[in-house]
Every structure is written in structure tokens, then in C-alpha cells.
A and B are shown apart, each in its own frame.
Chain A
């Protein structure tokens, strides 16, 4: 066969193949309609359950034009649930303990298989688990010469009593005076704050992890050369952005700069007291708002208000020059009354307004100021002073100014200090809010998101008999006294000493 013939035959075969490809397909296959299923989770693609919760997820299915509950088509489909690709359940409804989900940010996925045609559909959601102790009440009580710290879930009111001793195997000792939450300025706003336990004894303060409440630091270990100052017992510790301040039982201040303000503890305190001119000693201190970078200090002997600044300075607060302060006002640089309470106000991010409560032995006064830190001087804008609580507030009164709802302050008083009063700054009126069967020892406000806004909706009142009361303070509670009591908790852990509401993430301080 020569080349010509090969070419000719090749063309003939090619034409035959091309002709065959033109053969008409009659289309007589057997088609079956495939029904697409869309899986819908009511909460969307993200879920934020609490660690103690149990997930109860029943998806809706959009199937054959209808929206139906998954459980209604259990016969038609196979349901398989996965957490980070590990099978955790089968069935149309997922009931699963959140604490059993694995991974840092578990992805829960449902695989749906149509039993008839093996068609498969997938959908899932991320779980941003809220740690068990992220939000809630923390109560320190004293019983049998022991300080006992307990956590109370804000939703279920389940009590985790004496958790410090349970977790660490150690005692807090008898001298816890305050419990507070602090955040790390440079660590991002989605990090939870830690819990600081102030102990008025040589053993020092304890810091607890804000997520699991495990003890992580003893602040005694943050003194220069691991050497404590002479005769040192903390009375207060105050965290700002870049500096911390320690107040001791002798009225001395120690201040340190944070090496890295993303860490909850960094930098060392000098082991000798800070020099304050004229021998000034401080009786008490109060933290300003998270972003204010302010600590309010009180020199009881000289009757002066001081500011611990976020530059490590301690400076006297004087009134802003200008129009005179009205006669009869309690002067912050020459107090003729005792300063018994400072209530910070959260009016915005960098706020620095305070209500100061004075007591002259028979009458209480409330003065509002705004403190302006001018680096080397500190001045206060005077906004007014009013007497209040005549006939009901007393020397045992405790106070709770709502930081975010500026016009409301609660205080104890009345017969045997058993009555809770609401003081409204605007009209300057007090009214009975609730009366208990035991003297009031502590009052603390909660902070929750209500209609998208961080605000205060509950109070915890700690009584001498060890009972705790959760009271509502929203408008319907205020207008209807019968609605005020939300929960009575018989804690039975001794007398309340200090209480706080743990608000969790840093962004809740905005």
C-alpha cells in the first residue's frame, strides 16, 4: 500500500466516524426528579452557647417547596452530625453538651442523605462557646475566719461555692477585702478580664484567670527583687492601661509601669514606698473606668482627693480655676467630711466623672465632679453637691452608683440598715426599693446587653445572714415593686464582704 492509498483510506474512515457522530440521539433515557434540600439553622452560621449549655438543634429543611422540621422527614433522610469532622450524633435533632464539643472554635456540620437517591446535602455553623465563668456574679463571704469566694451563674443562679479552695487546694485566708475585674489594655477587646482578689494580709493579692477562674498570679511576686516592702499588706490594687498602683495598709503607694500592657501582670513594683510630699498617706482608693486611666485616692487625714495617673504619678486634685465653688460645698482639697464612697460613671469611652459620697456623721452628701488629668496637674470640674439620705442613710450604709445609668444610685439604710433605697440624682429624691430581713452588707449592679446596649438590669444585695437577693432595676421593676425580686439565693457561706459582677470581654467596657 502506497502513501496515497493510506491517505485515501484514512479519509474514508474519518468521514465514517464523523457521520456516525451525527447520528441523532433519540433521548429515551429514564430521568428522575432530584429534589434539592436546603438546611436552615435558626441561629444562622454562628452560635454562642454557654459552656454549661446543651445544644438542642433541630434544623428546618426547605424541601419540595415546603419548609419543614427535620424530624418530620426522618424516614426519608439519614442525618449525621459532625463536630470538626468527627461524627457526634445521628438523627434529625442534635442534643449535645457544649462542653463535649472539641476544638477551639468547633464547627458543627449536618450531613443529610436522601435514602432514595443518595443525594447528599451539607450545612453547618461555628460555635463560639462562652466560657462557663465569663459572665456572672462573684461573691466573697467570710465564715469561720475563712474568706470564701463563690461564682453564681447569672442565668441559672447555679452556685459554684468556695471555688478557689476547690481549684487550688489553698485557702484565701481571712482578710479578703475586695474583688474586682481588670482587663489588659493591649491584649484586644475580645479577651476576658481577669479577677483580682485583694487580701489585706502579707500573703498578697491573687489574680484569677478570667475564663476558668484558676489562680494564675500572686502579685507579691511582682516586687523588685522578689522582696516585699517592710510591713507590707495590700489594701488595694488598681490597674490602668500602662501602670498599676498598689496601696498598702500603711497608706503607702507603689507604682509600676507595665512592660507589656497585653499581659495581665508585667513590670515590677519598687519595694520602697513612693514619695508623696508632706507625708501624705492614703486611706482608700477606687479604680476609674477601664479606659479613663485614672485611680482615685483619698487622704483621710488631710481630707484631700488625689489622682493616681496612668503615667505613674500621684497628684492632688484641685478644682478647675474659674467661677467660685458655692459656699458650703465639701471641698475636695480640704474635706470637712469623710469620703465614704466614689462611684465612677461610664459616660463614654474615656470618661472621668465621679460621684463622691461624703458623710459628716449625721448627713450624707453627694458631689459630682469630672477629673481632668493634665499630666503634671489634675483638676476637677465641679458639677454640684446635694445632701441626701436624711433620716435613712447611716454610718453603716453601703452604696452602689450605676456607672451607665448616671441618675440612679442605690444605698442601704433605714432600721438596722435593712432597707435598700434608690436615690435619683436629678430630682434629688430617695425612695425605698426593698426591705430585707437582715442588714445589708453589699450592693452590686450587673451589666448586661439589653436591646443591644450594655446597661444595668439587676442588683445583687448581700445580707448579713448570708442570703443574696437579685433584684430587677429596669423600668418595669422600678414602677412595680412586686416585680423587683428576681431571685433569692441562700448562699450559706457566711457574711458577704465584697461582690462584683464579672462582665467578661473588654469590649463590654466601651
Chain B
């Protein structure tokens, strides 16, 4: 009996050594929206403001799509649609390329969503919701990566870096108008990770921009009166 048991176990072990043919993705390929080429966590909404890009009338927001499945040597269409119920932007505010393609040999590609600036954006934010749908090439990926909201405007809000130190030492009180001029003068909108000496240098550039403009007859005012940098800026 003992001998029989040993033979049965040995046979089982030998059976387990037979090669298992792996089909990596079966026949389905999945497409999903991604934050970056390597980040496939739930998609994050995008916020864009023309106020950070002075002089720009239209701009392109890149939206990444990522493949889970086999690469192809053919361009394949991705079914991306605008969810009209959740979209507040007008069709004239943006342009979605058609067709949206995952190009041959790529596992990540970019949807070039074009946004157009208009006066309406100065006072209101608008939203576009893009949704991935199934088609003959792809199944939609995880639920958290099937739709993305792009909110855009030409509006500003006081950034976190414009804190009391920046206000006291460099830029003075915040206003949207001042922030807009600051961006125009310096070409930057974000001083979050800058050192104090770099913040000071940008503030000096802004100070001189105001002075140079005033010498040329420009008037810079906001709700606080004349726009100036902090009197402590030297």
C-alpha cells in the first residue's frame, strides 16, 4: 500500500511539471487614461488657465492613453467621446482630434486636446469630460481610468506660495490683476519650490516691469489702488 501511495505521488509531481501555455492578455486589449506613462493609478482631473500663459489664444492639453495588451504594427482607433451631460464647455471652446489613434508600436500615446481662449473664460470655469469607450480594438481599462475631467478658464486664484512672507517681503497684497501682471513680467506662475533669493529676483523683475511700463504710460491698478510690490523689497 505504501509503495502504491509513493508511486501515485510521484506521478502527480511529474504531471505538475508539464508546460503551461500562457496567454498573456487572451484576445482582449485594454486602453485606459493615464496620468503619465508609468502612473496607472486613478486618473486625476486636469485644471488649465490661460491666465498662466499670457499671449496664448489657444493651447493644447495632452491627455495620455495607455495600452494594456499587445502592441500592434497598425494604428488603432481609440473610442474617446465627450460626455455631453457632464461637459459645460461649448463645442467651440475645444477641439478633440478625430480619430483618436494609438499609433503603431506604441503602448502610450497622447490625445492633443486643443482649448480656445475666449472672454467667457475670464469669469467662469468650463469643464470637458472625455470618456473611453469599447470598440473593436480595445476594451476600456479600470473604472477609475475611463474618464477624465478637464476644467479650463482664464481665471486666477491666489496661489498657496503667495503667503505672508512673499506678501511682506516681495510682492505685497495679492490681487488677480497683480498676479496676471506678475506672470506676464516673469513668465512664471508658480514660485512654490523657489528659494527666497529666487523669489526676490522674480519680484525685482516684476517691480522693474511695473516701473518700465509706467514710464511708457501704462496704468497698473487693481482693487487696492496702484499695483506695487512690497515696500520692503530691496
Contact = CB atoms under 8 A, between A and B. Distances in A.
A274 B215 contact: no
A274 B195 CA distance: 20
Contact of B205 (A267, A272, A278): A272
Query: For this complex, into which size category does the number of interface residues on chain B fall?
Result: 10 to 19
Interface string A265-280: 0111111111101100
B197 A275 contact: no
Contact of B201 (A224, A266, A273): A224
A99 interface: no
Interface in A291-336: 311-313
A278 B216 CA distance: 10
B89 interface: no
Contact of A270 (B196, B205, B211): B205
A259 interface: yes
Given A224-B202, A225-B198, 11 more contacts: A224-B198, A255-B204, A256-B197, A257-B234, A270-B201, A270-B208, A272-B205, A275-B207, A275-B211, A311-B234, A312-B204
Contacts, number: 46
B233 to A, nearest CB: 9
B234 A270 contact: no
Contacts of B195: 259
Interface string A246-267: 0000000001110100000011
B139 to A, nearest CB: 45
A275 B212 contact: yes
B65 to A, nearest CB: 33
Interface string B199-227: 01110110111011001000000000000
B189 to A, nearest CB: 14
The 7 A-B pairs at the shortest CB distance, nearest first, are namely: A275-B208, A270-B201, A224-B201, A275-B211, A267-B197, A312-B234, A311-B234
Contacts of B215: 275, 277-278
Contacts of A255: 204
Contacts of A270: 201-202, 204-205, 208
Interface of B: 195-198, 200-202, 204-205, 207-209, 211-212, 215, 234
Contacts of B205: 224, 270-272
Contacts of B204: 255, 270, 274, 312
A274 B208 contact: yes
A259 B234 CA distance: 13
Contacts of B198: 224-225, 268
Contact of A256 (B201, B202, B207, B209): B201
Nearest to B208: A275
A277 B234 CA distance: 17
Nearest to A260: B197
A278 B211 CA distance: 11
Nearest to A273: B208
Query: For this complex, into which size category does the number of interface residues on chain A fall?
Result: 20 to 34
A347 to B, nearest CB: 27
Interface hub of A256, A259, A275, A277 (most chain B Cβ within 10 A): A275
B201 A268 contact: yes
A274 B209 CA distance: 9
Interface hub of B205, B207, B215 (most chain A Cβ within 10 A): B205
A277 B211 contact: yes
A259 B196 contact: yes
A448 B143 CA distance: 81
A504 B202 CA distance: 35
B200 A272 contact: no
B201 A269 contact: yes
B212 A259 contact: no
B184 to A, nearest CB: 13
Contacts of A256: 197, 201
B169 to A, nearest CB: 11
Given A270-B205, A311-B234, A312-B234, A257 B197 contact: yes
Nearest to B185: A272
Nearest to A267: B197
20 contacts: A224-B201, A224-B205, A225-B198, A255-B204, A256-B201, A257-B197, A259-B196, A266-B197, A267-B200, A268-B197, A270-B201, A270-B202, A270-B208, A271-B201, A271-B205, A274-B208, A275-B211, A277-B211, A278-B215, A312-B234
Contacts of A272: 205, 208
A278 B214 CA distance: 11
A278 B205 CA distance: 17
Contacts of A266: 197
A269 B205 CA distance: 10
B168 to A, nearest CB: 15
B105 to A, nearest CB: 37
B171 to A, nearest CB: 14
A267 B194 CA distance: 12
Contacts of A275: 207-209, 211-212, 215
B209 to A, nearest CB: 8
Contacts of A313: 234
Contacts of B207: 275
Contacts of A267: 197, 200
Given A270-B205, A313-B234, A257 B200 contact: yes
